[in-house]
Structure 1
Amino acid sequence: MTSPLPSRFHDLVPAALRRAWAAAGHCPDLDLYALFRARRIADPHATAVIDAHGGISYAELDRRARCLAAGLARAGIRPGDVVGVQLPNTGAAVAADLAVAALGAVVLPFPVGRGGREALSLLGRSRARAVIAATVYRGVEHARELAALSRRSDELADLRVVIAAGPGPAPEGCVSLDDLVRTDASAFTAARPDPDTAARILVSSGSESEPKMVAYSHNALAGGRGNALARLLRDTVPPRCLFLVPLASAFGSSGTAVTLARHGGSLVLLDRFTPDAALDAILAHRPTHVLGVPTMVRIMLDRLPDRAEVPTGLTALVLGGSALDAATHDEARRAFGCAVVNFYGSADGVNCHGGTDYRPDRAGPGITVGRPDPGVCEIRIAPLPGAPADRREAPSGEPGEIIARGPMTPLCYVGAPELNLRYRTEDGWVRTGDLGALDADGTLRVIGRLKDIVIRGGANISPAEVEGELSSHPDIRDVLCVGFPDPLMGERLAACVVPRPDRKPDLASLCAHLDARGLERRKHPERLLLVTDDLPLTPAGKPDRAALRARAAAEFPTEQGEFGG
């Protein structure tokens, strides 16, 4: 029986378009659990997950998921309900994904490390009915904290049960995940929800005052997002994907729904990233694909000279979250002996990459990322404010806001109708908030975030453009540029730099390098912030620009900078 779509997950894409994408073969048109179940039946003994506890077959993972689904149903969870999941990268997190899908409910994963205040916001705004959380993770008692919040906060009035995942007795006010998994599932019958209804809520990394939540359907995940990964796979070889980012992140949604359900592959999981653990996992488990962010790869490259064995056999390093500089791209390609693919994408509903043979063109503003795939999403460039009122698209090569629509387009924002008004159009397009251009041959060029633009004395500076030029400086391993407030100019630009070992770049050398690269002097950074460890990352694994902006604002006095002309 098809489950009704809750009104808060209203699809902002016309229904006829959704059906046209399915008819064109861009979507499998099955719910996620049905797709997974078909894989389990076809090859029950194949390895589905490898985590710190060992390997889990498709048959065993299915057994755990069905038992948990039956236990959740016994706890009162029904089709259409939202179930939060705050777990590290483990087989338990994957089983939770599948159990919620089997119920016809909607999973809301969010990474461990997000604090109680943010969890309260996510669970409250989504009207979650249950949450599965780690008993203890790196000293934080997530389940106990959420149970306490549910007792004293009116924002969690819909929350019925907190489920504790981990060894030992469940904290007060919690139900044990182990007890639920022991539920007899012999009489359990999986739901068969409409594949165009909500399956998962993706959480952004928090560019708004509160993290955005975006509802995705079964088809948008297995279809649109599944097609993005499909272009990186070798024929007839199921993917074996090592996830260095949390499965609970937007990038991590390519885990259960895409790698397992859509492509019948295997997940290799680390409960947290360290460079040595990542390199050990590549050597031990021989993944075909490694999914992470550029900062992680830079850290791993620094560790390689100290190791006796170099990882080989990869098909691709698949990197998202931020732009990858040319120097790291080429170094990683040599060191790992595989393709290096830099995804452009976001939870809001856009994705583009050039495939395993693509080499980005660094000439011109921003970075080229490839041609949009209609099986993922169509991409257009909307004119910036001030353009003629009758102009719907920016001319070829002219920058504007990137907008997208296609099989991966999400349903809507959750618990935030104002975001639907701001970022969605009447005919289903997503306004990404990214600045970009389409070259004459249809290649997408990404220039930066509109909101990250630093306005210095009335002139716009794209931090991404400056970062791209600084990344080739011989003394720099990693760099982000951020704005900090200034009473005279409004904002100034700071370069936050992680130096290469035994190097200590100064501001003059950075500006000389930019001069040599031909970057206009008005775009040069006016302060240098040396970061002695690594650039900070958000819990979702992305570079934490907000933390660096705060640090720059605190460290630099609000006075005229070196290049205040």
Structure 2
Amino acid sequence: MTVALHDLLPAGLRRGWAAEGTCPDLDLYSLFRARQIADPHATAVIDAKGELCRTALDRKVRCLAAGLAGLGIRAGEVVGVQLPNGRGAVIAELALAALGAVALPFPVGRGSLEAEVLLRKAEAVAVIASVEHRGGHPAAELRALVPALPELRHVIAAGPVGSAPEGTIALTGLLRSDPAAFVPARPDPDSAARILVSSGSEAEPKMVAYSHNALAGGRGNFLASLMPDGTPPRCLFLVPLGSAFGSNGTAVTLARHGGTLVLLDHFTPESALAAVREHRPTHVLGVPTMVRMMLERLAGPASGAGEREGELPAPTALVLGGAALDETTAEDAARAFGCPVVNLYGSADGVNCHTGLGKGAPEAGSDGIVAGRPDPRVADIRIADPETHEQLPDGETGEIIARGPMTPMCYVAAPELDARYRTPEGWVRTGDLGMIGEDGVLRLVGRLKDIVIRGGANISPAEVERELASHPRVRDVVCVGIPDRLMGERLAACVVPRGPEAPTLASLGAHLTRRGLEQRKHPERLLVIAELPLTPAGKPDRAALRARLTESAPSAAAPSAAAPAPAPPLAHAG
């Protein structure tokens, strides 16, 4: 049985974008193969094992595709991929594209319960995972799930020869298959190529199906807008390729644009700075928290690794998404890296807008954070009434909706999500609040659902975070709501200090007053931590922070400041 993946966008729109050249109208493997033929010795991947050229990569892709076909994996079937950033993840994604199968990548670090949900709902017939990664044993953990997953026929273990756990298939054996015997499937470019996993606010992770054209076309046009001279990009991915943000890797950087992927198997600020110096990427893709950690290393005492020696080679751009980017971080990063800092507003659900290669930092004000001018070659963006979905006039605040070449097909095995987040005309409902001014610029205001309700009054955590980020003693901040028996909820600020002295709850309140934020929106709890915990996808882990605050909540209902505490474990984005 194969999960049904239907397209909620009118077929005429898809065909129109292909006919006018907005989408390449080729499957991902065919796009990569054309690049390989054009320049067979160009570097495709740089990872911990060294450099891999396009021809060597293509041979490995064909070997794996032949091996997977020998296991009976067919076009349209879903295969999970839980591999760290490296050539293995790239080979797997291209091999599945060549088979016409659907890749379901998800980052290393997601627990077995979540993996079970993903694989079950997607009706995955196989999954490829590492034998060992950073002390964990993903392949063995996934093998243990087989009795609960009747559709899952194979667990493929990636690791040294002889290391595959009992009951799994060694990836090394599949890579010895005869590549000459493999004939690519050439799937319909409008058919599903990859399932993106969204780290949204649902009880279970959302899965979103994307076609070859939506990835290489819509998402490919996003990266093209950040390539000023059309030169193939050299992209350093600090986020996992298995995340939604990471889908700009194999499908976009490599297949669509013929670029080079620079990959770290897990993120640390030291390894990221070393990669910038050694490999001179044109684009660095990450989340703001990662860049703040890199800036802190640059500003601190020089280490034996010599992080402060010499200037950093300037990329074309730092591309930051996944969380709000404040002006202080943008300005500091632009100065340290000597390049524009691009504020990316995007999600797996099908929205993308960015501030471009201008020199100025993204502005923030009372009317929200600037997200840039929507690009119809990527996604047309409108502001709609949240109830009627009717378009609102310029200058009015409403729900951000999007539709365009990058729009996904549907949610996977979740008709209730299709009904909730897609309009009959195929528009994606983001759940974000925004406005488009007369200048055509999109500004983000907050979330429809991400609201703290204190004594019946609504507070937007995004608004408070935006103002706290400008405090001189705040390096990083996340605001969350915590339960309170008197008020229902109270707002808590989780702060990573800038410098040796942490801010106090009183100083944060005074700062917000000076910024014009009314008293009822001020945080009433403060948690001081060394680093923000990150999800496997590299975003701030709000659930972990909320749990930490809830566990340490005082017995009295009165507001308080939590004592400074060691940071929760930092999930590595790899």
Q: Please indicate the TM-score interval, normalised by the length of the shorter structure.
A: over 0.9
Give the residue type in structure 2 aligned to 1:414.
Answer: V
- d(CA) in 2 for partners of 1:381, 1:315: 31
Q: What are the within-5 Å matches in structure 2 for residues 37-436 of structure 1? A: 37-150=33-146, 152-153=147-148, 156-169=149-162, 170-305=164-299, 306=302, 307-357=308-358, 359-385=361-387, 392-436=390-434
CA offset at residue 562 of structure 1? 7.1
> SS of 1:9's equivalent?
coil
CA offset at residue 366 of structure 1? 2.1
For the 8 Å contact 2:326–2:364, the answer to whether it is kept is no
CA offset at residue 23 of structure 1? 2.1
> SS of 2:181's equivalent?
coil
CA offset at residue 237 of structure 1? 1.4
Q: 1:553 aligns with which of 526, 550, 553?
A: 550
CA offset at residue 6 of structure 1? 6.3
For the 8 Å contact 1:351–1:376, the answer to whether it is kept is yes
Give the residue type in structure 1 aligned to 2:158.
Answer: A
- d(CA) in 1 for partners of 2:518, 2:316: 39
- d(CA) in 1 for partners of 2:296, 2:314: 20
CA offset at residue 19 of structure 1? 1.1
CA offset at residue 254 of structure 1? 0.2
RMSD in angstroms over aligned alpha carbons?
Answer: 1.5
- d(CA) in 1 for partners of 2:343, 2:548: 28
Figure out how many residues of one structure are paired with residues of the other and give that number. Answer: 551
CA offset at residue 378 of structure 1? 0.8
When residues 384 and 560 of structure 1 are mapped into structure 2, their CA distance, relative to the original with a 3 A threshold, is farther
For the 8 Å contact 1:365–1:465, the answer to whether it is kept is no
- d(CA) in 1 for partners of 2:23, 2:200: 29
Q: 1:514 aligns with which of 488, 512, 519?
A: 512
For the 8 Å contact 1:381–1:438, the answer to whether it is kept is yes
Give the residue type in structure 1 aligned to 2:20.
Answer: A
Q: Report Cα offsets for 1:473-528 as digits up to 9, x if no partner.
A: 11111001111112222211111100012112101100111111111222111111
CA offset at residue 185 of structure 1? 1.4
Give the residue type in structure 1 aligned to 2:285.
Answer: L
> Which is further off, 550-559 or 513-522?
550-559
Please list every run of 5 or more consecutive structure 1 residues that lacks an aligned counterpart in the other structure.
none
Give the residue type in structure 2 aligned to 1:283.
Answer: R
For the 8 Å contact 2:372–2:441, the answer to whether it is kept is yes
For the 8 Å contact 2:343–2:362, the answer to whether it is kept is no
TM-score normalized by the length of structure 2: 0.94
TM-score normalized by the length of structure 1: 0.95
The runs of at least 4 consecutive aligned structure 1 residues that moved more than 6 Å come to: none
Please list every run of 5 or more consecutive structure 2 residues that lacks an aligned counterpart in the other structure.
303-307, 562-574
For the 8 Å contact 2:238–2:264, the answer to whether it is kept is yes
Give the residue type in structure 2 aligned to 1:327.
Answer: T
CA offset at residue 107 of structure 1? 0.3
CA offset at residue 354 of structure 1? 2.0
Q: Report Cα offsets for 1:392-449 as digits up to 9, x if no partner.
A: 1233222221111100000000021111111111110111111111112221111222
For the 8 Å contact 2:526–2:560, the answer to whether it is kept is no
Q: Report Cα offsets for 1:263-289 as digits up to 9, x if no partner.
A: 000000000000000000111101001
Q: Report Cα offsets for 1:517-553 as digits up to 9, x if no partner.
A: 111222111111111x210100000111111122222
> SS of 1:186's equivalent?
helix
Residue 6 of structure 2 is aligned to residue 15 of structure 1: no
Identity %: 68
**Aligned residue in 1 for 2:572:** none
Residue 526 of structure 2 is aligned to residue 528 of structure 1: yes
For the 8 Å contact 2:327–2:363, the answer to whether it is kept is no
Give the residue type in structure 2 aligned to 1:524.
Answer: H
> SS of 2:346's equivalent?
strand
Q: 1:492 aligns with which of 481, 490, 493?
A: 490
Give the residue type in structure 2 aligned to 1:530.
Answer: V
When residues 420 and 333 of structure 1 are mapped into structure 2, their CA distance, relative to the original with a 3 A threshold, is same
CA offset at residue 20 of structure 1? 1.5
Give the residue type in structure 1 aligned to 2:524.
Answer: E
- d(CA) in 2 for partners of 1:309, 1:481: 37
> Which is further off, 425-434 or 352-361?
352-361
- d(CA) in 2 for partners of 1:562, 1:546: 20
Give the residue type in structure 1 aligned to 2:183.
Answer: T
> SS of 2:489's equivalent?
strand
Q: Report Cα offsets for 1:120-146 as digits up to 9, x if no partner.
A: 111111000111000001111111111
